[in-house]
Amino acid sequence: MIRYVCKYTPIELFAGFGAECAVLDDIPENFDLSDGVAHANLCGFGKSVIEAVLAGEVDELVLVNCCDTMRRVYDVVRNSEACRFLHLIDLPHDGGCGRESFARELLRLKAACAAYTRREFDRKAFAAAFSPPSPAVEPYVGILGVRAGREMEAMMRDGLALPVRNLTCIGNRAVAAPGASPENGKDETALFMEYAGALLSQLPCRRMNDTTGRKQLYNDPNLRGIVYHTIKFCDYYGFEYAEIKSGLSVPILRLETDYTLQSRGQLRTRIEAFSETLSGLGGRERIRMNKTGKYYVAGIDSGSASTDVVILDNDRNVMASIVIPTGGGAQSSAEKSLAEALDLAGMERGAISRIVATGYGREHIRSGGESITEISCHARGAHFLNPGVRTVIDIGGQDSKVIRIDETGAVRNFVMNGKCAAGTGRFLEMMARTLGLSLKEMSERGLSWKEDVVISSMCTVFAESEVVSLVAQNRAVPDIIHGLNNSVAAKVAALVGRLGLEGDFIITGGVAKNKGVVHAIEGKLGIKLYVCDEAQICGALGAALFALD
């Protein structure tokens, strides 16, 4: 089975030799084999190709010189000598003078296939392999950007309320048959010139010189939203995202992955939150409360660091709230915190009419009637706490997010940190441990800094070694803490920058209690943050408010 990676691959040619082929889009669990032979700045997809080859899953591979990664993947795979058939096609950057050189490349591949398969080229089989594209006839969400991989695409289909079309680089392959009847007549050179032209006339991928044709992807009247996928270290699609993000008429969600599913939870949260943004919470059918008289609801925010519960009465009065560390799993922490909150409120479990769960553990909480992402819940909670707020900065244990909300508290846009602890509560927790301080001590001591210390490493592990070096240099602890606070602030400011400054601003999540970080963010952005006692329970409060609907 020949595996290929790029839509400009002449797969109809393989059919002409009776060879089966398939896109190589398996998402590996890890890159253990690849990391041993290639450097870390290879994009996750490039690593996945090497991983599949070294694991013995692929031994016939046709690559296209489509990006710098693929050029180097070819080098690495070739040196591994693990493929029986390996070929690199040079792809020109446009269809003008490039057509001739591409036709030569196709003929070179044809000769290689003939030698490898020991078969004659069958024009009839070649002609039969072309299939016309199917246009969109109903509203859909488009997956754009770079390839998403089979499993990730399935996750999007599950998480989004609308039909999903894969329009990524490899997903939108559509090649017209060269001429009226490629199986007869024409001489081979003319046939392959036409074939090269047909391949190069596809909707251009972001690599090509002229990408104006890509506009049709964003202007389709049936398009309702875009999930824009980029892979860390992919060079093209980040450029396109930067270019298009502000001029679109439909909502866009950017997902940056490393082409593994190691962050499934975070990916699912983003996709579901986006689905909520697209169609309101009506994206999933919600049953409206039909209860009269006095009743109570609860919101449970199951986060990576803490599990928070808020109990409200039907007049939106907070009856009890509690924050406990998430210990032995989402379910048990949720039960424990709910029981403690009920104790505080002096209520029985049966008094709670409805529970909405949010946070990473939301799907694992059986006591919850339904789950809503923490993006929507923080937005709702923040709006309740301060209706003037338009930007929510939530710094939680394992992620930080910036949410843009409208005057009703509905989410208009949001961004989250990538798969990296920098700029999160976990980062501060690790640094506090390195300094031998509690989080509370760190928060207080960071306020009495005198000298600006710069922590330049964005990586938590490197930042830790930087802190150790600074301690060894006898730098004052408050100054080091101030440097760390600024590092978190820089990361948050970059996220805010992606949405644009729009006040008022509120900070939520556990890190809101750290005055040093609050001051650093205010200084970095030149704004004033609304800080309130309920900052840490904002997600649970939002969930409880949804439960009242």
Partner 1 sequence: MNQRLEAQHRLGGLIQKHYGRAREIERTREQPIAWASTGAPNEILWAMGFFVQFPEAYAATCGARHAAHAHCAVTEARGYERHLCTYCRNSIGASLAEMEGTGAFEPLARPDFLLVSNNSCILITKWWEHLSHYWKIPMINIDSPLVVPGMDRGDIIGHVKRQCIDLIQFLEDFTKKRFDHDRMKEIVENGKRSADGYRGMLDASRHDPVPASFFDLIGHNFPNLVLRYDPASAEHYEQMKTELDMRIAGGVAAAPGMKYRLYWDGVPYWFAIRNLYEKLRNFGMSLVTSTYFEVFAFENLDPSHPLDSVAENTAMFYLNRSVGYKTETTERIFRDFHLDGGVFAYASSCKPFSISMHYIADTVRKKLGAPVTIIEGDLVDETFYDEERNNTKLQALAEALAAKRK
Examine residue 145 and tell whether it contacts partner 1 (CB under 8 A): no
- Kindly tell me which residue out of 12, 153, 256, 276 binds partner 1, with binding defined by CB under 8 A: 256
Q: Which is nearer to partner 1, 76 or 320 (CB)?
A: 76
In whole angstroms, what is the distance from residue 303 CA to residue 543 CA? 13
Helix, strand, coil percent content, the chain, rounded in steps of 5: 45, 15, 40
Q: How far is CA 83 from CA 51, 64, 157, in A?
A: 12, 16, 34
Q: Which is nearer to partner 1, 108 or 433 (CB)?
A: 108
In whole angstroms, what is the distance from residue 172 CA to residue 27 CA? 19
In whole angstroms, what is the distance from residue 342 CA to residue 350 CA? 10
**Ramachandran assignment for 280, one of left (phi > 0), alpha (psi -120 to 50 degrees), beta (any other):** left
Sheet holding 21-23, edge to edge: 21-23, 2-4, 60-64, 85-89
Residues within window 170-209 making contact with partner 1, judged by CB under 8 A: 206-207, 209
- Kindly tell me which residue out of 1, 22, 93, 332 binds partner 1, with binding defined by CB under 8 A: 93
Examine residue 457 and tell whether it contacts partner 1 (CB under 8 A): yes
Question: Beta-carbon neighbour count of residue 351 at 10 Å?
Answer: 16
Q: Which is nearer to partner 1, 261 or 494 (CB)?
A: 494
- Kindly tell me which residue out of 22, 84, 101, 188 binds partner 1, with binding defined by CB under 8 A: 101
**Shortest separation between residue 36's beta carbon and partner 1, angstroms:** 9
Cis peptide before 504 (omega within 30 of 0): yes
Q: Which is nearer to partner 1, 197 or 542 (CB)?
A: 197
- Kindly tell me which residue out of 69, 269, 307, 485 binds partner 1, with binding defined by CB under 8 A: 69
In whole angstroms, what is the distance from residue 47 CA to residue 40 CA? 9
- Kindly tell me which residue out of 22, 465, 502, 523 binds partner 1, with binding defined by CB under 8 A: 465
Examine residue 214 and tell whether it contacts partner 1 (CB under 8 A): no
Residues 6+ positions from 50 with CB-CB distance below 8 Å: 31, 33, 34, 37, 38, 42, 73, 76, 77, 80
**Shortest separation between residue 236's beta carbon and partner 1, angstroms:** 6
Query: Using N-to-C axis directions, what is the helix angle for 425-435 and 477-499, rounded to 10°?
Result: 170
Tally the C-alpha atoms within 13 A of residue 60's C-alpha that lie toward its C-beta.
13
Q: Which is nearer to partner 1, 192 or 241 (CB)?
A: 241
Q: Which is nearer to partner 1, 37 or 447 (CB)?
A: 37
Examine residue 245 and tell whether it contacts partner 1 (CB under 8 A): yes
- How many residues make contact with partner 1 (CB under 8 A)? 57
**Shortest separation between residue 364's beta carbon and partner 1, angstroms:** 32
In whole angstroms, what is the distance from residue 112 CA to residue 536 CA? 63
> What's the per-residue H, E or C state across 188-202?
HHHHHHHHHHHHHCC
**Shortest separation between residue 210's beta carbon and partner 1, angstroms:** 10
**Shortest separation between residue 232's beta carbon and partner 1, angstroms:** 6
Residues within window 3-42 making contact with partner 1, judged by CB under 8 A: 37-42
Q: Which is nearer to partner 1, 78 or 433 (CB)?
A: 78
Residue 393: both structure tokens together: 């900065």
Query: Using N-to-C axis directions, what is the helix angle for 188-200 and 98-117, rounded to 10°?
Result: 110
Examine residue 129 and tell whether it contacts partner 1 (CB under 8 A): no
**Shortest separation between residue 475's beta carbon and partner 1, angstroms:** 15
Which residues share a beta bridge with 313? 296
Examine residue 115 and tell whether it contacts partner 1 (CB under 8 A): no
Per-residue binding letters, 71-90, with partner 1 (x by CB under 8 A): xxxxxx-xx--------x-x
Which residues share a beta bridge with 506? 392, 530
Piece in contact with partner 1 (CB under 8 A), picked from 91-99, 115-123, 138-146, 265-273: 91-99
Piece in contact with partner 1 (CB under 8 A), picked from 104-112, 132-140, 155-163, 388-396: 104-112
Closest CA to 199 of 127, 99, 121, 101: 99
Residue 457: both structure tokens together: 């490493």
In whole angstroms, what is the distance from residue 410 CA to residue 403 CA? 10
96, burial (CB in 10 Å: exposed 0-12, middle 13-18, buried 19+): exposed
**Shortest separation between residue 100's beta carbon and partner 1, angstroms:** 8
Residues within window 293-352 making contact with partner 1, judged by CB under 8 A: none
Piece in contact with partner 1 (CB under 8 A), picked from 129-137, 172-180, 360-368, 458-466: 458-466
Residue linked to tokens 């939002």: 542
- Kindly tell me which residue out of 16, 28, 92, 510 binds partner 1, with binding defined by CB under 8 A: 92
**Shortest separation between residue 379's beta carbon and partner 1, angstroms:** 21
**Shortest separation between residue 302's beta carbon and partner 1, angstroms:** 30
Residues within window 487-516 making contact with partner 1, judged by CB under 8 A: 494, 497-498
**Shortest separation between residue 84's beta carbon and partner 1, angstroms:** 16
Binding site for partner 1 (CB under 8 A): 37-42, 46, 65-69, 71-76, 78-79, 88, 90, 92-94, 97-98, 100-101, 104, 108, 112, 206-207, 209, 230, 232-233, 235-236, 238-239, 241-243, 245, 256, 456-458, 462, 465-466, 469, 494, 497-498
